[in-house]
Each structure stands twice: as C-alpha cells, then as structure tokens.
C-alpha cells in the first residue's frame, strides 16, 4: 500500500523532484518502509510505501527501467501474478519465479500492451508511468475504484497524487471549494465520477486510464461490467456451490499478505462470510477477527461475533467505539487524515484499525461491497412484470393477498410499462421525482444544480442495454462515483493508520459472477430472507444465528448518540452560523429547523451528518 505523486511539465521545462517530495509529505501513511522520488526531464515522480505483501520488498521506489527510461510509481496490489508473468514472458523460465515488485510488472505490461495494459491487470491499483519516448504520462485506476487517484492542471503543469490535498504543494492556487460537488455530497448523490469537493481537482474514475501529453489530456474507459451476461441455468444448490467457490477464490486473492491478516466483522452475512471462508480455506494463516461492540445499543452484535469466533476457531478482538472518546476535529482532540470526511460510522473504525496495527496486522479484510451487489434495487417488480412473472412481481411489491389499495396498483402499473416508455417520458417522471428532496435544505440554485446532475446520471444508465433493469442499475452503481467514493474513504482511512483495507466482494471476478446470477439469487421477495444465494452457500460454515437473521443492523442509534449526545453542543455551535449558507449552498433557516427536529434515523439524520461533515471540511479548507 503506497502513496504516490507525479508532476509533468507539459511545456518541456525540467520538473523538480522537491515538489514531489512536498506532495508525498502531504499523504498520510501510518508506517513507511521505503520512500523515494526521481526527476526525469519534464516529469518527476515519487512514492512512499508500506509493505503488505512479500513481493513489496523487491524493487525500488520509484521503479525505473534503464532500457526504456520509463519510470513507474504505483499504489498497487496485483493478483493472478503468475498468469501475468507468463503472458509477459511466455518463453522465459524466470516468468515462473515468485520475485518481482508489482510496479515492475506494471512497467512490463505497459511496455508490452501500451495504453491497453490496464485491461491485463487484476487487483487494486492506481499508477502513473512516465514514457520519455512519447513525452507522456500514463495513469490508470483499478476497475472498481478501490485505490484513488486525483489530478489537476495548473497552466503547463499536470499533477496527480493519491490524495486531493497532496496536489496543492504543486499548484499555484490553494484549495477552493466546489459548490456543485458540495450539493451532491450533502445528499450522497455522487453523479460525476470525476468530481471532487475541490475546485479544479478531478478524480480519475474507476476503470479508466488517463494519458497526458504536451498537447492532449485524454480520459478513456477500459472496463465496465457486462449487464447482459447470464450464467447457465441450473438449480439453487448449484448456484450456491458456484458462489462459494467464487467467494473462496476472491478471499484467497485478497488475503495474500506478509504477516497476520485481520477481518473486520459485524454480525451480518457479508463480513462473517469472508471470515468463515478464510478460516475454511486457509486455516494455517494467522487471522484475527476485529469486532465493533456497542453495549446497551440496539446495534450491538457482539453475540453473533462471538459465535462466529467459536465456530471458526479464530481469536476475536472486541473494540467498543461508543466508550472511546469520539474526537471532535475542531477541538484538536483527534488527528484526522485530511481527505477522510467526518462521519460517526467511519470514525468508529479507527480504534479497531489501531488495535490491528498494535498486533502487527497490515492487511484487513472487510465485507464492504456485499450490500451493493446483493440487494433489491426497486426495479425487480418492473422486470418481473415485463417477463410476465406476476407472482414474483406481487411478492416483490409486498402486496398482501386481496389488497386493492389504489396507490399500490398504480405503482405496479407504472413498473409494468416502465421499460417500454419513451426516454423523454421517463426523463419527465424522474424530473418530478427529483424535485422532492427530503429534507430540502438547499438554496434554489444549488437545488437546480443537483437535480440536473441526477437527471443526467439517470438518463445515462437507462440508455445502457441490460438483460434487466435491476442488473443494469447495479452495474451503473458499481462503477459510479458513490461506490468508488466509499471505497476510496476506506483506503485513505486505512493508509493513514498503516493498514491496507481489502474488500473480497469488490474482487472483479466475484463481482462479474454475482451480476451474472439470475436476480432471484441475489435478492428475495418479502417476507423471504435477503441474499438467498449467500445464505445457501454459507449454511455449513456460519453459525445458524447469522445465517437465519432476517433483519440487518441499523447504526442510526449510534450516530444519533454521537450527534445529539457527545457532540450535540459542537454540532449546534457549528451549524448556528453556517459557512455553507454563506457560500449559497444551504438555507440557514432550513438547517436550523433540521437541528430542532433532532432526527433519529432515515434521510434527515443522514443529511444532518453530511451537513456537519461539509461544515468541518469547509473550515479546514478555509484555514
């Protein structure tokens, strides 16, 4: 796990490695095993590394090829390394040797396939390659956006780095807020995958490459999930067996590490399935379970975690974040990584990650991504009606027998005809829907900006051909800004604390398998339990108390206890005179009413937390 930075003088002037050193210093990394930078004509590149795999210790930072003059900096964890080495050197016996830094393999892939090299790489990565023969800087980001990469143009200077704030030591202007992005952030509506909260700073979208030369800057997609692929028809038992094998392979790829591995477990299906699979597939690996316990709160899942620990024979470390002194950033009682935004449910992982580092854990697995891929989208009724499956449609709509409520029947009728409606009719409908923000705290200008962005995103994904609407939406969300934002926050959070966070459910091969399943394997109509294929696959590995759970855990009680408990005075003082209102993003009277409501859950509480996060961020940027 690395922090990388690069600059390129597009006018041909010499680049300064000291500028890259200052950029690297702005990237928090909990532990540093190696750091280096190099100036090569019009480009300068640098990297600081935390070794998390055996291969990381080989090579150098940056990686330089004496023959081609190419220089590579990479935040990369490649899987399927042997297949890649054989593809790169089919007649070379050394291809089967285990040695070789991942950055070296990236360099060889670029030398072999040029701009198409990213399609041949598996794993999580963000990298930059200086190609002196072309006088170009080539960058790429992994398919699902686990490793972030940001960039900016400042006249003739191009800069890219692992963190947004790390760009500014190279730029003439300081950080400035992006009004349109703030409105999107407030409602967790990340429509533009390249948008950031900083004006002039872009994120390279997941599954994209970027090529920068003296006269061009090109961003190009190299991968997107196939919404039309389907597995061969079979029965529930066989689908579950295939899923178990696919999850096992993904966990094996994600658990390759030097030293012990941790698994962050709740009491839900996704993270516990990762832990149980690792225990079954690699019982010899030193693995520790880390669990967040909330005594006295409804979200406490300690009993489930203990049952998992006993069933798998893995040690369990229980952390109680509710008993920790939850830091308030403006009080200086907690050092925050600059580009990880305040949120009680993300901050609560900090003590668990610190507990992991204290035990020598450098790699932590999670269940992140499972809820994205194994959920109902709201289009299952439309898909079932469109194929004439009325029984599934009525069940998915949760329509009781004999019920004839007009609103429900109208909803069913709308879903039945939705796939065949003209695009402009669907656009009109979504325009009406997006006009109803809940709660509505935006100014009219910010509101129009957000609605226009949401409508563009909606129109784009509905034009993508898919085997059904539900799968099409899942594909769009997986490569969209919302999913990559959450993954990037995990990566930044872990990097600052010295732990590489990995997500088996975001393994490309597992994702494509899940999307190819019939939708009825991913979700189930009420009152049946959710995630049916996962439950069947893990029935023999997980405790029955976990497999048979029908309700997920809601952490609103913990968030409410922080926002209206420990931090209530700070929140009230923070929002009493909102800088977001001064910037024309929100209406101060609407913010005041929202605080007075003291929301305990739902959209109102989420909006309030995002307001707090934005206000804190805006004060950091303004200082």
Q: Are strands 287-292 and 316-319 parallel, antiparallel or unpaired?
A: parallel
Which parts of 494-584 are beta strand (E)? 500-502
Please tell me which residue, 568 or 106, carries the higher pLDDT value: 106
Nearest CA to 6 out of 176, 199, 151 is that of 151
Task: Say which range, 8-12, 106-110, 397-401, 589-593, has the weakest mean pLDDT.
Answer: 397-401
- What is the rounded average pLDDT of the residues 442-471? 80
Domain 2-221 has CATH 3.60.20.10: yes
* 429 CB-near residues (< 8 Å, 6+ apart): 421
Band of the pLDDT at 52, cuts 50, 70, 90? very high
Q: Tell me the three state secondary structure of residue 469.
A: helix
Among residues of the chain, what percentage have pLDDT more than 70? Answer: 89
- List the structure tokens of 51: 């070794």
- What is the rounded average pLDDT of the residues 373-396? 78
Q: Is the pTM of this model over 0.75?
A: yes
pLDDT, tens only, 267-286: 999 999 999 999 999 998 89
The pLDDT value recorded for residue 570 is 86
Please tell me which residue, 132 or 95, carries the higher pLDDT value: 132
Q: Tell me the three state secondary structure of residue 539.
A: coil
ω into 527 cis (within 30 of 0): yes
pLDDT for 567 beyond 50: yes
pLDDT for 396 beyond 90: no
* 243 CB-near residues (< 8 Å, 6+ apart): 513, 514, 517, 521, 533, 534, 537
- What is the rounded average pLDDT of the residues 328-332? 60
78 near 84, Cβ under 8 Å?
yes
Nearest CA to 131 out of 115, 143, 142, 152 is that of 115
The CA-atom distances, in angstroms, between 125 and each of 20, 209, 462 are: 20, 11, 29
pLDDT for 403 beyond 70: no
pLDDT, tens only, 299-322: 899 999 999 999 999 999 999 875
Q: Give the relative orientation of helices 469-478 and 481-497 as an angle to the nearest 10 degrees.
A: 40
pLDDT for 324 beyond 70: no
Q: Which residue is it, tokens 């041909």? A: 12
Nearest CA to 311 out of 549, 548, 542 is that of 542
pLDDT for 330 beyond 80: no
pLDDT, tens only, 179-202: 888 988 888 887 777 889 999 999
- CATH number belonging to the domain at 236-373+481-552, selected among 3.30.420.40, 3.30.200.20, 3.40.50.620, 3.30.70.2740: 3.40.50.620
Band of the pLDDT at 335, cuts 50, 70, 90? very low
508 near 250, Cβ under 8 Å?
no
- What is the rounded average pLDDT of the residues 195-217? 95
Task: Say which range, 196-210, 250-264, 602-616, has the weakest mean pLDDT.
Answer: 602-616
| Domain extent listing, the chain | 2-221, 236-373+481-552, 388-467, 557-622
The pLDDT value recorded for residue 341 is 79
The pLDDT value recorded for residue 405 is 45
pLDDT, tens only, 579-591: 999 999 999 999 9
Please tell me which residue, 545 or 466, carries the higher pLDDT value: 545
The pLDDT value recorded for residue 402 is 44
Alpha carbons 212 and 149: distance in angstroms, whole number: 14
Among residues of the chain, what percentage have pLDDT more than 90? Answer: 54
Question: Measured in whole angstroms, how far is the alpha carbon of residue 545 from the centre of its chain?
Answer: 29
Which parts of 271-395 are beta strand (E)? 287-292, 316-319, 363-365
- What is the rounded average pLDDT of the residues 479-495? 87
The pLDDT value recorded for residue 400 is 45
419 near 386, Cβ under 8 Å?
yes
Q: Are strands 34-40 and 43-49 parallel, antiparallel or unpaired?
A: antiparallel
The pLDDT value recorded for residue 458 is 73
Alpha-carbon Rg for the chain in angstroms: 24
Q: State the average pLDDT for the chain.
A: 87
Band of the pLDDT at 623, cuts 50, 70, 90? low
The pLDDT value recorded for residue 18 is 94
pLDDT, tens only, 497-512: 999 999 999 999 999 9
Task: Say which range, 376-390, 405-419, 439-453, has the weakest mean pLDDT.
Answer: 405-419
According to DSSP, residue 256 is labeled -
Band of the pLDDT at 334, cuts 50, 70, 90? very low
Band of the pLDDT at 336, cuts 50, 70, 90? low
């Amino acid at each position: 796990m690395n922090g990388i930075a690069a600059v390129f003088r597009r006018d041909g002037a010499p680049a300064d490695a000291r500028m890259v050193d200052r950029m690297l210093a702005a990237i928090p990394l909990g532990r540093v095993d190696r750091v280096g930078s190099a100036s090569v004509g019009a480009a300068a590149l640098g990297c600081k590394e935390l070794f998390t795999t055996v291969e990381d210790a080989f090579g150098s930072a940056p990686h330089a090829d004496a023959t081609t003059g190419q220089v590579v900096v990479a935040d990369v964890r490649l899987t399927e390394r042997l297949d890649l080495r054989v593809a790169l050197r089919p007649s070379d016996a050394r291809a089967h040797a285990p040695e070789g830094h991942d950055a070296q393999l990236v360099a060889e892939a670029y030398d072999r396939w040029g701009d198409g090299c990213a399609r041949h790489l598996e794993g999580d990565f963000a990298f930059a390659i200086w190609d002196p023969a072309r006088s170009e800087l080539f960058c790429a980001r992994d398919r699902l956006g686990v490793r972030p990469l940001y960039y900016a143009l400042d006249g003739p200077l191009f800069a890219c780095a692992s963190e947004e704030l790390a760009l500014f030591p190279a730029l003439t202007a300081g950080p400035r807020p992006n009004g349109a992005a703030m409105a999107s952030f407030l409602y967790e509506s990340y429509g533009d995958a390249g948008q950031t909260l900083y004006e002039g700073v872009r994120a390279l979208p997941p599954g994209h490459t970027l090529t920068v030369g003296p006269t061009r800057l090109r961003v190009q997609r190299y991968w997107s999930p196939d919404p039309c692929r389907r597995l061969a028809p079979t029965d529930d038992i066989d689908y579950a067996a295939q899923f178990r094998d696919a999850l096992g392979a993904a966990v094996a790829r994600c658990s390759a590490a030097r030293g012990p591995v941790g698994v962050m477990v709740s009491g839900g299906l996704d993270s516990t399935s990762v832990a149980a699979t690792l225990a079954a597939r690699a019982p010899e690996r030193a693995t520790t379970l880390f669990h967040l316990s909330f005594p006295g709160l409804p979200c406490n899942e300690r009993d489930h975690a203990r049952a998992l620990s006993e069933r798998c024979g893995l040690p369990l470390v229980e952390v109680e974040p509710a008993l920790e002194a939850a830091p308030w950033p403006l009080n200086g009682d907690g050092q925050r990584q600059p580009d990880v935004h305040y949120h009680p449910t993300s901050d609560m992982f900090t003590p668990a990650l610190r507990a992991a580092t204290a035990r020598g854990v450098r790699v932590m697995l999670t269940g992140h991504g499972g809820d994205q891929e194994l959920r109902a989208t709201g289009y299952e009724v439309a898909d079932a009606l469109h194929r004439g499956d009325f029984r599934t449609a009525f069940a998915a709509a949760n329509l009781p027998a004999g019920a004839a409520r007009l609103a429900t029947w109208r909803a069913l009728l709308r879903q039945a005809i939705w796939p065949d409606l003209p695009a402009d009719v669907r656009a009109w409908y979504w325009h009406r829907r997006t006009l109803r923000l809940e709660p509505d705290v935006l100014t009219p200008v910010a509101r129009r900006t957000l609605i226009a962005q949401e409508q563009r995103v909606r129109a784009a994904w509905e034009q993508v051909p898919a085997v059904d609407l539900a799968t099409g939406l899942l594909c769009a969300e997986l490569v969209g800004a919302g999913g990559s934002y959450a993954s990037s926050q995990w990566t930044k959070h872990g990097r600052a604390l010295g732990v590489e966070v990995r997500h088996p459910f975001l393994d490309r091969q597992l994702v494509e398998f899940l999307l190819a399943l019939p939708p009825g394997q991913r979700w189930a109509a009420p009152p049946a339990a959710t995630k049916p294929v996962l439950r069947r696959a893990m029935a023999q590995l997980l405790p029955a108390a976990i497999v048979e759970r029908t309700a997920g855990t809601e952490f609103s009680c913990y968030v409410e206890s922080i926002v209206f408990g420990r931090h209530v005075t700070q929140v009230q003082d923070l929002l009493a005179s909102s800088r977001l209102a001064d910037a024309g993003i929100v209406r101060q009277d609407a913010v005041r009413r929202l605080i007075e409501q003291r929301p305990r859950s739902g959209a109102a509480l989420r909006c309030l937390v995002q307001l707090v996060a934005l206000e804190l961020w805006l004060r950091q940027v303004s200082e």
